[in-house]
Amino acid sequence: GESVGLHLPTLSVQEGDNSIINCAYSNSASDYFIWYKQESGKGPQFIIDIRSNMDKRQGQRVTVLLNKTVKHLSLQIAATQPGDSAVYFCALGKDDKIIFGKGTRLHILP
Amino acid sequence: DAGVTQSPTHLIKTRGQQVTLRCSPKSGHDTVSWYQQALGQGPQFIFQYYEEEERQRGNFPDRFSGHQFPNYSSELNVNALLLGDSALYLCASSWAGTRNLGYFGPGTRLTVT
């Protein structure tokens, strides 16, 4: 079946630097991939998604890259800010349900 | 525009008891999905409701059941609670006409003692 996993459970980044969070997924016919941000005490918040027929998509300060050859997904956050501190999940969408990975906690260093 | 709302915020129950959690979807959404998030883990799909019927289900026992009402709100029921049912229960809503991007509520924190 489908599964997703993140490469690192935690990531520490200097404020102002760019953050890159990586994710791998197993063989799937997923329609799309999604990144979520979850702050303490809150539900996951949608950041950006990408269809499986695309390899790059940009949003406000975020870029998602999809490499289907190696089954790898990444989220890049530009000019990381203190408010970016959270747990980030990659997920895949299949048959209208969402399958989550374990999450990477992003720490912002002053 | 209110987003997804869930009640209660926190709940403490004893093993063997039953619990009902509630969810109101985002305005304009007609599909509700429920997820269980154990501490330190990603959310796990429980089931999805559309047009008042369970449309698909994840790998959860029959102790977990649900309901959707004509106004699209939904309930999650868990019977015969186990300690392992302690988790954050998340509700996400979507509109059947578009792909599910999972607009999540804040969750209900269930503690089973």
Note down pLDDT in tens along chain A; length 110 residues. Answer: 667 776 688 999 999 999 999 999 886 677 789 999 999 989 999 999 999 999 999 999 999 999 999 999 999 999 999 999 999 999 998 878 899 988 999 999 99
Nearest to A77 by CA among A27, A16, A9: A16
Q: What domain count does chain B have?
A: 1
Report, at the CATH architecture level, how domain A4-109 is classified.
Answer: Sandwich (2.60)
pLDDT in tens, B47-102: 999 999 999 999 999 999 999 999 999 999 999 999 999 999 999 999 887 778 88
Choose the closest CB to A43 out of B44, B48, B105.
B105
Query: Residue B49: which CATH number?
Result: 2.60.40.10
Instruction: Give yes or no for B45 touching A (CB within 8 A).
Output: yes
Which pLDDT score, from 0 to 100, does residue A4 have? 78
- Residues in a beta bridge with A20: A76
Q: Is B45 helix (H, G, I), strand (E, B) or coil?
A: strand
Which pLDDT score, from 0 to 100, does residue B97 have? 75
Domain ranges of chain A: 4-109
Residue linked to tokens 């009902």? B20
Decide: residue B6, CB within 10 A, 0-12 exposed, 13-18 middle, 19+ buried.
buried
Domain limits for position B81:
5-112
Which pLDDT score, from 0 to 100, does residue A94 have? 82
Disruptive mutation site among A38, A98, A99, A105 for chain B (greatest number of B CBs within 10 Å): A98
Nearest CA in chain A to B95: A96
Cis check for the bond before B61: say yes or no (omega within 30 of 0): no
